[in-house]
Amino acid sequence: MRDIPQDIMVKHGFITLAIDVMFINRIPFVMTMSHTIHFGMAKLVNDMKNNTLVTSNKQVIQAYQGRGFKYRQYWEMGNSNIYNK
């Protein structure tokens, strides 16, 4: 993996994620988009159970943190309160 350029880390090191669930052929995916760098990720989920969605969310955050970004907050889009069922 290549390192993230230092100027990007200084300017955009703290991320805010928009999170939603999208269905493709009835298969759920957790979709995320980072607010400032506009990087999107998709994570396949096996079911819509709260624990599964929270775990998927944590895995996405860990992926950003693994590259050196600091997680600030997330916004639930579309399906409001998807993590509070």
Query: What pTM does this model have?
Result: 0.72
Hey, which residues does 27 pair with through a beta bridge?
24
pLDDT for the residue 77: 65
Residue ranges of the domains in the chain?
Answer: 6-74
Q: Identify the DSSP state of 69.
A: -
Among 2-16, 36-50, 66-80, the range with the most confident prediction by mean pLDDT is 36-50
Q: What's the CA angle centered on 51, arms 73 and 27, to 5 degrees?
A: 95
15-70 tens-digit pLDDT: 888 888 899 999 999 898 888 888 888 989 998 888 888 888 888 888 888 888 88
